[in-house]
Chain A
Amino acid sequence: MSVREKKVAVFRKEHFNAAHRIFNPAWDDRKNEEVFGKCSNPNYHGHNYELIVKVTGVPDADTGYVMDMKVLSRITAEEVLEKFDHKNLNLDTVFFKDLNPTAEHIAMVIYELLRARIDPKLELQVRLYETERNFVEYPAD
């Protein structure tokens, strides 16, 4: 296999700060507290989220790029940072009106937002850190 047919993964790292509350509206306060503990605080809490966007594909024969990182950076800024940074995920975004803003769901939403803007022939995966020690990846396979 020549180098021209091999896949390479490229990564772009971004971060945003947001407030949220993990809360199931179908449950009463006691049940929410029991399941989600202090994460269900009605007055919200917040995180410094760190996002790693992974794009995989064969480098373009003309440019040598899997994807122009400036373009990936701009798309991530437009689709994620402008919508989530310094926001309340529950109140200020359209995505979590009926969806609990867990790290899992946030990663899935970010994936869909980016997927729509990135060449379908490139593979995409997002890793989202909610804290240094808690992070998720989507898709998982």
Chain B
Amino acid sequence: MVYLTRLEHFNAAHKLYNPGWSREKNEEVFGKCANENWHGHNYDLYVTIKGEPDPDTGFLFDVKKLSQIIKDQVIEKVDHRNLNLEVDFLSGKMCSTENLAIGIWQQLVPHLPSEITLHCIKLYETPRIYVEYFG
């Protein structure tokens, strides 16, 4: 078993705000992340797949193709976007890094060939804060 990781980047605006709560409650729970006019991040996305290398190519999967799938299914939808307002797969969900990682997993799985297993979505919101999702 080999693990292969591709790193991509995107920049986006968001806020942590539960519309079912009052503004005071949102500020109490989410602090400055609840700022109604948004704030933003440079996200780093690590996508790790696993499997056995192909005997003819030596590749687990063509990493250029993996990069293209990530770009088409994720980066196109989130880069330079407002995550709360403009991203269909986060609609109705809280825009936490946790939910974003889960959403990215769900975006990618249907587009990966059957011989490839998605292993981990690792998503950095800042250089010091990241989440990992293993499905």
The residues of A with any CB-CB pair to B shorter than 8 Å are 15, 17-20, 38-39, 41, 43-48, 85-88, 91-92, 131-132
Contact = CB atoms under 8 A, between A and B. Distances in A.
A13 B44 CA distance: 21
Interface stretch (B11-19, B57-65, B99-107, B112-120): B11-19
29 contacts: A15-B126, A17-B41, A18-B40, A19-B13, A19-B39, A38-B79, A39-B80, A43-B13, A43-B82, A44-B40, A44-B82, A45-B11, A45-B40, A45-B81, A46-B11, A46-B41, A47-B40, A47-B41, A47-B42, A48-B40, A48-B126, A85-B39, A86-B32, A86-B33, A86-B35, A88-B13, A88-B37, A131-B9, A131-B11
B72 interface: no
B29 interface: no
Contacts of B11: 45-47, 131
Interface string B5-45: 00001011110000000000000000011010111111000
A88 B14 CA distance: 10
A91 B79 CA distance: 21
B127 interface: yes
Band of interface residues on B: 20 to 34
A95 B82 CA distance: 22
Interface in B38-58: 38-42
Interface of B: 9, 11-14, 32-33, 35, 37-42, 79-82, 85-86, 126-127
Contact of A44 (B13, B32, B33, B42): B13
B42 A88 contact: no
Contacts of A41: 80-82, 86
Contacts of A39: 80
A20 B40 CA distance: 8
A38 B78 CA distance: 11
Contacts of B82: 41, 43-45
Central interface residue in A15, A19, A45, A48, by most chain B CB within 10 Å: A45
Contacts of B9: 131
B14 A46 contact: yes
Contacts of B37: 19, 87-88, 91-92
